[in-house]
């Protein structure tokens, strides 16, 4: 997870830490497929889909394999998109995946052009409320969104945990708070579920920790790299201790009324 308002050096170091990961945020193919099953698009053909903040494309490749669709893979980090392209080619999916280097807050896609907008571990970068509102006009009537968003699972998270996440992401709220935001922005929620702990640990933090020694070796002279790694360790420890209180929640929802 990155922090807002970061420097160029920090961005380069964050990309270097994450580029060899299977995923750049908590998530797993099992959770991706579970959310995709909620969309019930299996028998539709010729779909147009955007994967916002796709990173190196773990979810993009699942979508490309499971759907009859063109997938527009959007990220503002070019190195991630280059890695995505090589992974997509390895699996011969290049005819279905179109990487686009853009800001997902304003991706310049045609209005009402998308059947489905996907975003895993990414929307917090532009804010959940702003994101779901900015993306709605891009959806076809009754188009779908499938978005994972961090949130509180309980009403009483410990103070230190609350402070950590409110500093990192001031918009963080409860699952019912996010459901309210979806409704207010003109979506009908079809399903929602909590990301598995394997998605956090087996597919994100543990592989990152396995790369950490080499990473710190590559950037031995960089206090910034050490600070980034310390931050990730702290975040992982918070998840291990307090996973009953917070997680990513996957929301699958349908656009209800037309956008004016």
Which residues contact ligand SAH (rule: CB under 6 A)? Answer: 23-25, 27, 53-55, 58-59, 74-77, 80, 103-105, 120-122, 125-126
Cα 184 to Cα 37, 162, 189, distances in angstroms = 25, 25, 11
CB of residue 51 to ligand SAH, shortest distance in Å: 7
**CA–CA separation, 224 vs 74, rounded Å?**
27
Alpha-helix residue ranges (DSSP H) falling in 19-68? 29-39, 58-66
Cα 21 to Cα 66, 120, 138, 144, 220, distances in angstroms = 22, 15, 30, 28, 20
The residue (of 76 and 193) whose beta carbon lies closer to ligand SAH is 76
The residue (of 121 and 157) whose beta carbon lies closer to ligand SAH is 121
The residue (of 25 and 143) whose beta carbon lies closer to ligand SAH is 25
CB of residue 58 to ligand SAH, shortest distance in Å: 5
CB of residue 250 to ligand SAH, shortest distance in Å: 11
The owner of tokens 């999916």 is 93
The residue (of 107 and 137) whose beta carbon lies closer to ligand SAH is 107
The residue (of 16 and 256) whose beta carbon lies closer to ligand SAH is 16
How far from the centroid of its chain's Cα atoms is residue 196's Cα? 15
CB of residue 120 to ligand SAH, shortest distance in Å: 4
Contact call for residues 120 and 22 (beta carbons, < 8 A): no
Contact call for residues 18 and 86 (beta carbons, < 8 A): no
CB of residue 45 to ligand SAH, shortest distance in Å: 25
CB of residue 257 to ligand SAH, shortest distance in Å: 27
Q: What is the total residue count of the chain?
A: 260
The residue (of 104 and 229) whose beta carbon lies closer to ligand SAH is 104
**CA–CA separation, 247 vs 126, rounded Å?**
19
């Amino acid at each position: 997870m990155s922090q807002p308002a970061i420097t160029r050096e920090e961005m380069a170091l964050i990309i270097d830490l994450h580029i060899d990961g299977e995923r750049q945020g908590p998530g797993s193919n099992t959770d991706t497929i579970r959310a995709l099953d909620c969309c019930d698009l299996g028998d539709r053909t010729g779909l147009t889909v955007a994967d916002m903040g796709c990173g190196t494309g773990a979810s993009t490749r699942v979508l490309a394999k499971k759907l009859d669709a063109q997938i527009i893979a959007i990220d503002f980090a070019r190195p991630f998109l280059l890695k995505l392209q090589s992974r997509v080619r390895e699996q011969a999916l290049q005819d279905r995946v179109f990487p686009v280097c853009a800001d997902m807050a304003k991706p310049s896609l045609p209005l009402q052009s998308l059947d489905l907008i996907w975003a895993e571990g990414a929307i917090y970068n532009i804010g959940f409320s702003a994101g779901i509102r900015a993306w709605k006009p891009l959806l076809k009537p009754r188009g779908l969104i499938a978005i994972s968003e961090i949130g509180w699972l309980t009403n009483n998270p410990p103070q230190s945990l609350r402070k950590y996440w409110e500093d990192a992401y001031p918009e963080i709220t409860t699952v019912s708070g996010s459901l309210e935001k979806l409704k207010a922005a003109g979506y009908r929620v079809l399903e929602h579920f909590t990301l598995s702990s394997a998605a956090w640990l087996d597919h994100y933090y543990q592989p990152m920790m396995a790369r950490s020694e080499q990473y710190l070796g590559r950037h031995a002279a960089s206090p910034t790299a050490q600070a980034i790694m310390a931050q990730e360790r702290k975040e992982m420890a918070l998840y291990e201790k307090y996973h009953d209180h917070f997680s990513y929640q996957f929301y699958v929802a349908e656009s209800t009324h037309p956008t004016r």
